[in-house]
Chain A
């Protein structure tokens, strides 16, 4: 076998190399030598991220088990950028006494989940797909339980393991039906042999149910809020954008390519799931006071909006979906960055604690406001564009009613996105969170997020580039 063919997997190999290097560094370096650990980790990952944007050969490997297509590679690069920001934001958390000795694990585990997502994104077979899915979720559970001496972190970890196992079980059960119905696990052979029998359809429904668990669509969302609240903030941010983004992308590809014969069925299913997801996510977010729970429910409703793009069912739909994920990564990470910074400085995560924040920490408040406005879809921030394109994609298939329901929901969402803004800018507080300086890592992360929020929308290049790689049904 020609070894150069393996270059198709260059992203995976370089990520694996980083994992190994960091593992060895963490094992053998002295305590003093480890003071550069965070810096090295970020630098290596930055190099990996930059390298991901250079041209890469596309193609299949292992007889079609692994398949690197241009859009999958682009999504990997997008995830890289997101993880880089998360790693920068985690500095404040990892330098604390109780987690300093675990920073190696933090890096290695996080990058392992990314490795799983890579496999999942580039899979050409349901087996590789499932393998990737599991590699992505098991280390995640340990990361969620990272603060294992805090009750809610450990509880969240357990909850995540259980619900992940349950959803994997359901997904596998569906897969077994599908295998029985079609006789193959390869995506390329699968579609032609897929037959319209109730048997296959049940398998399909089980399969998407498992996926909805991962993306936390209603009614499979019940684990989300508790896990988001309990996990360390950096991990919550990671789950809300990176895990969700990769799962949504895979689902898009599967629905467009592999399950194309079931198009009427999955559009019907999605229609209802989207309506319920957006509405329930929004209504629950209204009453939250803990910012992490608040963003958990907001991320549930955002997942519904992402699915709206999939309803677009064409090249436009996929473009809008991926573009939405990209913008969502920046908006949500900006918000979580502020939450993490405030939490590290003062230990406070409630909306009411943010009262009067603008008088003490104006820059953080402004960043938070931009992030929330972007999530709410206010121009000229990128969130406006991504929402508009999502709606345009859904309307292109004539789903005007769905678009109207989603838009009316954006009003509800705007209400709760304005609540923290109101707290920071309008509400009075005798003892606001004191003025503090964040570390350079999280400052860099904030700047990247801010630039992203402004540039991604106003410059049409990103959307057009994604569009040039996307494909329809």
Chain B
């Protein structure tokens, strides 16, 4: 058994351990110990991975293991990681543990809540460790379905509508995706001459261009729905706004990254020729996402909606950069996934904490929070600054890399779209500063708010953990960007050699 499987086994053990639990006091240690174990495993994985690369191991995927599952269809449980998946696993484990601390006070049906949350995490981790399309698709679906109940039961506002909309739209995406995967499968061949789901095996052979033209858009759109690509982004604002705090964190922070990761690892990597041909269509769509999302955030009044639209904008930037298809821009895309994951999780955590105290998320009803809850307010400012790309925090590194990479294309089309996408930075500043000014500063108009207290210890752990990660990524990005960049080389080499 390969140690990467721990990422699936630990959540499984957590689920089993939660079954006999009855009170919140019993659930908390299980959730904390389990998510801590996941964090430790992912940190160990980063260290081992870097050590292995230092030692000169240049294999595309490290720590691979392979277990034949369905022999007639050549389906394997195959795991392996490269720099990108290592980074994503680290991100996921950080968000999971902070999510656990953010839902420390979960009163309603706590056991069920944590079980679904952990099942969601299991799907996410499983998705990032596998290199077999079938297993990957399975984990992808495992990650999607808990959202329905998590939003439907524990959500706020129009939760039933949002839960159903989110589930159906994402499942709709996976319907397209599945046809794409089957198309890839029946155009693949492995060493033994059989069809295969193994990504590395598939990438060794060129899929016929006619098939690529058909299945690339299906696969890309399938993942693009989860990546909130325009016009399939509409689930995102409703879903995020209705979800409970930890779920918003996990969903915006990690689950949406599955979309970007899949677009690059499956759609572009396996079908590069069609990707080159059709990239312009999706560049236009993602370009719209970037700008439209940002403008959407400007006019919203609900804090969660503002952040959800900003997620659409930032995730659009991820897909936008992936479609630029050069090493710098794609490295930026992965960095943006990390940065956005941490940042948006921080935002949702803070919004959840503020909402838990004031019971409103409407920015017209909130004022002067800096006087009442200085800790949370300062953290909100930091999150905002990271979001608008202040140097020293993670957002700057990611966006800088993306725009530098995108501008490397000499033709007008790419440059014009880069400039358009760049304009989103300005709009981001508008909505971030507007919110900060409106809710944090000024007089406290609602006197009832004066009674409210500041962050509790468990909330501080969650928030500080995320801020430290953002600052670490922002001030010392080299090791992680090198790790990502090296892993992108095979894909970029494939794209250049076309």
A residues lining the B interface (CB < 8 Å): 316, 319, 373, 378-380, 384, 388-389, 391-392, 395-396, 400, 403-404, 407-408, 410-411, 414-415, 418, 421-422, 425-426, 460, 463-464, 467
Contacts and interface: CB of A to CB of B under 8 A. Distances in A.
A384 to B, nearest CB: 7
A425 B141 contact: no
A460 B69 CA distance: 6
21 contacts: A316-B73, A378-B141, A379-B139, A379-B142, A388-B134, A395-B179, A395-B182, A395-B183, A400-B182, A400-B183, A400-B214, A403-B179, A404-B175, A404-B176, A404-B179, A407-B179, A415-B168, A418-B148, A421-B149, A460-B71, A463-B72
Contact of A373 (B139, B145, B152, B186): B145
Interface in B139-163: 139, 141-142, 145, 148-149, 152-153, 159-160
Interface in B400-430: none
Given A380-B138, A414-B171, A460-B75, 8 more contacts: A373-B145, A392-B73, A404-B179, A407-B175, A407-B179, A410-B171, A464-B70, A464-B72
Nearest first, the 3 A-B pairs at minimum CB distance are A407-B175, A395-B182, A426-B152
A313 B475 CA distance: 59
Contact of A463 (B70, B148, B172, B182): B70
Contacts of A421: 148-149
A422 B183 contact: no
B140 to A, nearest CB: 9
Nearest to A408: B175
Contact of A418 (B137, B167, B179, B183): B167
Contacts of B164: 415, 418, 422
B492 interface: no
B180 to A, nearest CB: 10
B24 interface: no
Given A392-B182, A395-B183, A404-B179, A414 B167 contact: yes
Interface of B is mostly: helix
B189 to A, nearest CB: 14
Interface of B: 69-73, 75, 134, 137-139, 141-142, 145, 148-149, 152-153, 159-160, 164, 167-168, 171-172, 175-176, 178-179, 182-183, 185-186, 214
A158 to B, nearest CB: 39
Nearest to B141: A379
Nearest to B183: A400
Nearest to B172: A411
A408 B70 CA distance: 26
Contacts of A389: 73
Contacts of B167: 414, 418
A395 B142 contact: no
A392 B179 CA distance: 9
Contacts, number: 82
Contacts of A463: 70, 72
A411 B145 CA distance: 12
Most buried by B among A379, A389, A396, A467: A379
A238 B206 CA distance: 49
B72 A411 contact: no
Contacts of A316: 72-73
Contacts of A460: 69-71, 75
Nearest to B68: A460
B172 A408 contact: yes
Given A460-B69, A460-B70, A426 B153 contact: yes
B44 to A, nearest CB: 27
A319 B72 contact: yes
A464 to B, nearest CB: 6
Contacts of B185: 392, 395
B179 A380 contact: no
Contact of A411 (B70, B152, B153, B175): B175
A425 B179 contact: no
B484 to A, nearest CB: 29
Contacts of A379: 138-139, 141-142
Contacts of B176: 404, 407
Contacts of B152: 422, 425-426
A467 B75 CA distance: 14
A154 to B, nearest CB: 39
Contacts of B175: 404, 407-408, 410-411
B171 A384 contact: no
Contacts of A426: 149, 152-153, 159-160
Nearest to A319: B72
Contacts of B138: 379-380, 384
B145 A378 contact: yes
A447 to B, nearest CB: 16
Nearest to A414: B171
B72 A395 contact: no
Given A384-B141, A414-B168, A400 B72 contact: no
Contacts of A319: 72
Nearest to B169: A411
Contacts of A395: 179, 182-183, 185-186
Contacts of B134: 388
A373 B148 CA distance: 12
Contacts of A464: 70-72
Nearest to B134: A388
Contacts of A422: 152, 160, 164
B114 to A, nearest CB: 16
Given A379-B142, A467-B72, A425 B149 contact: yes
A362 B233 CA distance: 35
Nearest to A315: B72
A231 to B, nearest CB: 31
Given A379-B141, A426-B153, A391 B168 contact: no
